[in-house]
A and B are shown apart, each in its own frame.
Chain A
Amino acid sequence: MTEYKLRTRNVRKTYGSVVALKAASIEMQEGEFLTLLGPSGSGKTTLLMAIAGLNNPDSGDIWIDGKLANFLPPFKRDLGMVFQNYALFPHMNIFDNIAFPLRMRKMPMALIRKEVARVLEIVELDHVAKRFPRELSGGQQQRIALARCFVYKPSIILMDEPLGALDKKLRESLQREIKQLHENLGITVLYVTHDQEEAMVMSDRICVMNDGSIDQIGTPNELYFQPSTMFSADFLGESNLFDAQVLEVGKDSVLMRGPAGMNVLGELKESVKIGEQVKFMIRPETVDTDNDVTRDNAVEGILKEVIVFGQITKYFIELSDGTEMVSTQLTSRSSSTIEIGQRIILNWAKTSTVILTSDAGS
């Protein structure tokens, strides 16, 4: 059990009659960056709080560094936590804020000064030590919150939507900064966000949460290209999701009957049986509009709308039974040459068809 830096098993938490967390089990290696991703109310913050010791789980176990920590008070866990609104102490200046954890640890004053100066240098804000939190911009406050966390070298850092309140540009630059700090300092980070892009950018692994339970855990790549559940497929990135019935299970592929009577080829998935109702998902960027009928899958439709988003262009195509399908392609000069109302053939490789069975019924 000691090989894991952090481990939870079947952690459950209820608030009155509301089940906030059903039975969450995660494992984290030392130095790993794991993100809890899910919509609000999915239980990700509840799990984080239980790990931080800020709420007491109803049942289940938490191990930190191989030691049981279910009801260990937060100040004994040696964790770092970065809060959504930074939680900088408004009545203390930046120096005192960062020095707070060191003072709690009875560090001598000379060493405190040195350490505070060191982390302020890391976050490139050495000139603000005498200022108060409200005198800093949102991005600066966030960096100070990070510095206050790094300064006492906690073994795990928990971050609860730390970039949620910042604008897009700042968020992107801080995402990279946090990622770099993580790599340079070799710390273990458990990160919470509802922003799937942020999760994809930063994480070693992502844990998708939905309705109080863990939906799927995997690397960003796995989750994006091989989602195992409807929810993960839908929550991460954009997707064309359709119902289908399995017609044939071949040696290395599955044939299904999709909407508008189309036959769809997908990669073999062991669990499917002939006649079973399933769903399949195709990422819009894997669907081509070049009228190539020789590929694994091809379906005809009428172009309804073209929207240029900047670097990408989205094509909305209506199939014969009214089902809408989206294709996303890099914007090029020829993007707008296809006319609305024109018939086009959509095509994609069978490796791009992801068959979802686990919660197809729900």
Chain B
Amino acid sequence: MSSKSEQLPSVTYTPIVRPRNWSRFLSISPAILFLGFFFIYPVVLLLGLSFVDSSGTLTLEHYTRLYEKAVYVKVLLITLKIAGWTTIFSILAGYPIAYLLSTVKSSTRNSLVIWVLMPFWTSFLVRTFAWIVLLGRHGALNELLLALGIVDAPVRLIFNFTGVMIGMVHALMPLCVLTMMSVMENIDRNLVSAASTLGARGGQAFWRIYFPLSAPGVAAGGMLVFITSLGFFITPALLGGARDTMIVQVIIFQIHEVLNWGFAGAIAMLLLASVLVIFFFYDQLLGLSTLSGESTHEHKKGVIGRIGRWLGGGVINILSYLCEQGGILIDKLTPLRTDRKRRQGSRTTLWITAMTVIAFLCIPALFVIPVSFTEDGFLGWPPVGFSLQWYEQVLNSPAWAAAASRSFVVAISSALLGMSIGVPAAFFLARRQFFGKAALFAFLVSPIIMPNIIIAVALFYLYAKLGLVGTNMGLILGHTILAIPYVVITVMAILKNYDHRLDQAAWTLGANKWQTLTRITLPLLSAGLIAAFMFAFVISFDELTIALFVTGGEVTTLPKQMWDDALMRVSPALAAVATLLLAFMSCIIFSTEYVRRRGLRK
């Protein structure tokens, strides 16, 4: 016994990875190799193409063309404008919801979050078609406005900038709300109480204390929305007009119509460069670490950081002053009664605002349902009569059946593959300390940041060489790239809350590492793992961009079939598919939620 204890100091128990011991990297190497070959390599290939001409010699001709033709710069500016406004509207409308959600009881929050997430889980195309039904010339909203006599003629709500805004804000706001909420949840409620006991009015306490603390969440949410908006093409293509063309649509045109890979690569480079520039400014202002929802209060030293802080401080001072004056004015109008409870007007306003926005998020998905039962031959409002003909047509169509079965196979396979690669990587990242951990994490989640279109085009190019175009395997590999970041993030988040001492307890009780993993760790984490799987499944199931390219027009998935159908003609059959998908997705969400709650009860 004594000799053993003398040896103790020589044994290292700290889980620091020593560089020479490569076997320790075994669990993370599949993730690195997979993303390296299927993600980084093709993207580099694609961007490389932009520097060679058709004969294969080095040239800058694609870039000079980009520069000379004003149209591409103009498209980039339109793209930035659309992304910018989408971000602003998402933050403005999303902030009250996030604030409300982070201040209500957790049971209320859970049920509200499902509604906020409704559009997030509902198929992308379903939402877009719902807007066409709602906002069209003969859509529900116009009918309503005409009936109420507010307008004399139908208002143009789609196929213009308004339509793009509605569609994109609707699509991206949930992302913004969730990101802001994750920061707001960690704001100590006592801080606002403390401010009020120290003499701050409600509005002053909000602007001087709560808002600055929630700012990292606002910035991170805005950043995610902005970056994601840059890669959009479905919404502008379906809801926008000719003047709302975004940069991704130009890339698609170059590849599908002109087959000019080099030039497509150059435009992709332009897009990527814009993303990187924006990331640079973000990092200068707030630091990239805030993106993961961690609120750091480090003050950025750079010039940009200082200017940002100075501007932010000024705005907060003004808003705080306005609130104070407003409060004093209200006090003068309605003198304080200390013997009677004051009406909490601000809370009611908050609820009304938040519920209005939630209605905006939910209604489109629910509007598709009645339309799918129409007897009419086209997608219009109000639906005529009741008929199941469109369901019959869809269910009897071999094309839809093939697409559905392929979507299932691909989604399940890529979710499984994503889990088997992502879960060990998440364990590795969560449990070990080593040099370059942050960089490795950034690498694993970088597919989220990379506009999907670049991944899609790059994969198409790689697959053409490997003969994977039009194969299920190609689709599965492509969707796995997108699934890995979500699996890594979800599993790391649950591991953060996992008590490592439970494993140690199992070891001391005689279980070996494998037994501990299978009997203790995994069962305890099962709810989180199932959630990660569902996440990966839904991402693949709803994915269109990669499917558009790597299927090579030969095979289809459900979203691609819907896209093809929509381009030909918008029939109620689409609403029927959308309704079926909505029902299916709801089942997934509610079963995930059920599993999660059961997991919490344990």
Identify the A interface with B (CB < 8 A).
52-54, 56, 67-81, 83-85, 87, 89-91, 100-101, 104-105, 132, 134, 148, 152, 158
Do the beta carbons of A74 and B197 come within 8 Å of each other? Answer: yes
Residue with the greatest number of chain B CB neighbours at <10 A, chosen from A71, A89, A134: A89
Residue with the greatest number of chain B CB neighbours at <10 A, chosen from A54, A75, A85, A152: A75
Q: Are A101 and B198 CB-contacts (below 8 A) given A71-B337, A71-B341, A90-B297? A: yes
| In the complex, the 9 A-B pairs of residues with the closest C-beta atoms, listed nearest first | A104-B199, A87-B194, A101-B198, A81-B197, A74-B196, A87-B190, A72-B338, A83-B190, A75-B199
For residue A148, which residues in chain B have a CB less than 8 angstroms away from its CB? 198
Q: How many whole Å from A259's CB to the nearest CB in chain B?
A: 43
Do the beta carbons of B297 and A83 come within 8 Å of each other? Answer: no
Do the beta carbons of B196 and A71 come within 8 Å of each other? Answer: no
Cβ contact of A70, chosen from B198, B201, B338, cutoff 8 A? B338
CA distance in complex: A79, B199 (Å): 9
Q: A73-B196, A80-B198, A83-B194 are in contact. List 11 more A-B contacts (CB 8 A).
A: A52-B193, A71-B337, A71-B339, A72-B338, A73-B336, A73-B342, A75-B200, A79-B197, A81-B197, A84-B190, A152-B198
CA distance in complex: A256, B197 (Å): 53
Is B212 in contact with chain A by the CB < 8 A criterion? yes
For residue A101, which residues in chain B have a CB less than 8 angstroms away from its CB? 198-199
CA distance in complex: A83, B200 (Å): 16
Jot down 5 A-B pairs with beta carbons below 8 A, ordered by A. A70-B339, A74-B197, A81-B193, A89-B195, A104-B200
For residue B339, which residues in chain A have a CB less than 8 angstroms away from its CB? 68, 70-71
Restricting to B398-450, which residues have a CB under 8 Å from any CB of A? none
For residue B202, which residues in chain A have a CB less than 8 angstroms away from its CB? 73
Is B595 in contact with chain A by the CB < 8 A criterion? no
For residue A52, which residues in chain B have a CB less than 8 angstroms away from its CB? 193, 197
Restricting to B38-94, which residues have a CB under 8 Å from any CB of A? none
Instruction: Encode contact with A along B196-214: 1 for CB under 8 Å, 0 otherwise.
Output: 1111111010001100110
For residue B191, which residues in chain A have a CB less than 8 angstroms away from its CB? 87, 89-90
Is B554 in contact with chain A by the CB < 8 A criterion? no
Do the beta carbons of A54 and B297 come within 8 Å of each other? Answer: no
- Chain B: CB-nearest residue to A63: B338
- Chain A: CB-nearest residue to B201: A75
CA distance in complex: A52, B193 (Å): 9
CA distance in complex: A70, B337 (Å): 9
CA distance in complex: A52, B200 (Å): 13
Q: How many whole Å from B93's CB to the nearest CB in chain A?
A: 25
For residue A54, which residues in chain B have a CB less than 8 angstroms away from its CB? 193, 196-197
Do the beta carbons of A76 and B195 come within 8 Å of each other? Answer: no
For residue B197, which residues in chain A have a CB less than 8 angstroms away from its CB? 52-54, 74-75, 77, 79-81, 158
Is B340 in contact with chain A by the CB < 8 A criterion? yes
Is B257 in contact with chain A by the CB < 8 A criterion? no
CA distance in complex: A54, B341 (Å): 13
Do the beta carbons of A87 and B188 come within 8 Å of each other? Answer: yes
Cβ contact of A100, chosen from B190, B198, B342, cutoff 8 A? B198
Do the beta carbons of B198 and A104 come within 8 Å of each other? Answer: yes
Instruction: Encode contact with A along B167-191: 1 for CB under 8 Å, 0 otherwise.
Output: 0000000000000000000001011
- Chain B: CB-nearest residue to A104: B199
Number of B residues, CB within 8 Å of A: 26
- Chain A: CB-nearest residue to B324: A104
CA distance in complex: A104, B199 (Å): 6
- Chain B: CB-nearest residue to A158: B197
For residue A69, which residues in chain B have a CB less than 8 angstroms away from its CB? 338
Identify the B interface with A (CB < 8 A).
188, 190-191, 193-202, 204, 208-209, 212-213, 297, 336-342
Residue with the greatest number of chain B CB neighbours at <10 A, chosen from A84, A100, A134: A100
Q: Are A134 and B198 CB-contacts (below 8 A) given A71-B338, A76-B336, A87-B191? A: no
Q: Are A91 and B338 CB-contacts (below 8 A) given A54-B197, A75-B199, A75-B200? A: no
CA distance in complex: A69, B338 (Å): 5
Do the beta carbons of A132 and B297 come within 8 Å of each other? Answer: yes
Q: How many whole Å from B328's CB to the nearest CB in chain A?
A: 12
Cβ contact of A85, chosen from B188, B204, B337, cutoff 8 A? B188
- Chain A: CB-nearest residue to B204: A104
Q: Are A85 and B198 CB-contacts (below 8 A) given A71-B341, A91-B213? A: no
Do the beta carbons of A81 and B194 come within 8 Å of each other? Answer: yes
For residue A71, which residues in chain B have a CB less than 8 angstroms away from its CB? 337-342
Q: How many whole Å from B264's CB to the nearest CB in chain A?
A: 45
CA distance in complex: A84, B188 (Å): 12
Q: How many whole Å from A109's CB to the nearest CB in chain B?
A: 14
CA distance in complex: A53, B200 (Å): 13
CA distance in complex: A69, B341 (Å): 11
Do the beta carbons of A134 and B297 come within 8 Å of each other? Answer: yes
Q: Are A72 and B336 CB-contacts (below 8 A) given A91-B297, A104-B198? A: yes
Do the beta carbons of A91 and B341 come within 8 Å of each other? Answer: no
- Chain A: CB-nearest residue to B187: A90
CA distance in complex: A101, B201 (Å): 11
For residue A83, which residues in chain B have a CB less than 8 angstroms away from its CB? 190, 193-194
Q: Are A91 and B336 CB-contacts (below 8 A) given A71-B341, A85-B190? A: no
Q: How many whole Å from A10's CB to the nearest CB in chain B?
A: 14
For residue B341, which residues in chain A have a CB less than 8 angstroms away from its CB? 56, 71
CA distance in complex: A87, B340 (Å): 29
CA distance in complex: A83, B193 (Å): 9
CA distance in complex: A329, B204 (Å): 58
Q: How many whole Å from B291's CB to the nearest CB in chain A?
A: 18
CA distance in complex: A43, B297 (Å): 35
Do the beta carbons of A89 and B209 come within 8 Å of each other? Answer: yes
For residue B188, which residues in chain A have a CB less than 8 angstroms away from its CB? 85, 87
For residue A105, which residues in chain B have a CB less than 8 angstroms away from its CB? 199
CA distance in complex: A68, B339 (Å): 7
Q: Are A90 and B198 CB-contacts (below 8 A) given A70-B339, A104-B204? A: no
For residue B208, which residues in chain A have a CB less than 8 angstroms away from its CB? 100
CA distance in complex: A67, B337 (Å): 12
Residue with the greatest number of chain B CB neighbours at <10 A, chosen from A56, A78, A87, A158: A87
- Chain A: CB-nearest residue to B342: A71
CA distance in complex: A305, B402 (Å): 81
CA distance in complex: A208, B59 (Å): 85
CA distance in complex: A134, B296 (Å): 11
Residue with the greatest number of chain A CB neighbours at <10 A, chosen from B194, B201, B213, B337: B194
Q: How many whole Å from A106's CB to the nearest CB in chain B?
A: 10
For residue B193, which residues in chain A have a CB less than 8 angstroms away from its CB? 52, 54, 74, 81, 83, 87
For residue B201, which residues in chain A have a CB less than 8 angstroms away from its CB? 73, 75
Do the beta carbons of B199 and A90 come within 8 Å of each other? Answer: no
For residue B297, which residues in chain A have a CB less than 8 angstroms away from its CB? 90-91, 132, 134
Q: How many whole Å from A116's CB to the nearest CB in chain B?
A: 13
Q: Are A100 and B195 CB-contacts (below 8 A) given A71-B342, A75-B200, A87-B190? A: yes
Q: How many whole Å from B213's CB to the nearest CB in chain A?
A: 6
Q: How many whole Å from B133's CB to the nearest CB in chain A?
A: 42
CA distance in complex: A28, B212 (Å): 38
CA distance in complex: A38, B339 (Å): 29
CA distance in complex: A291, B197 (Å): 59
- Chain A: CB-nearest residue to B192: A87
CA distance in complex: A74, B188 (Å): 18
Residue with the greatest number of chain B CB neighbours at <10 A, chosen from A56, A68, A74, A81: A74
Q: How many whole Å from B203's CB to the nearest CB in chain A?
A: 11
For residue B194, which residues in chain A have a CB less than 8 angstroms away from its CB? 81, 83, 87, 89
CA distance in complex: A53, B196 (Å): 9
Q: How many whole Å from A256's CB to the nearest CB in chain B?
A: 49
Q: How many whole Å from A220's CB to the nearest CB in chain B?
A: 28
CA distance in complex: A67, B195 (Å): 23
CA distance in complex: A79, B337 (Å): 18
CA distance in complex: A143, B465 (Å): 68
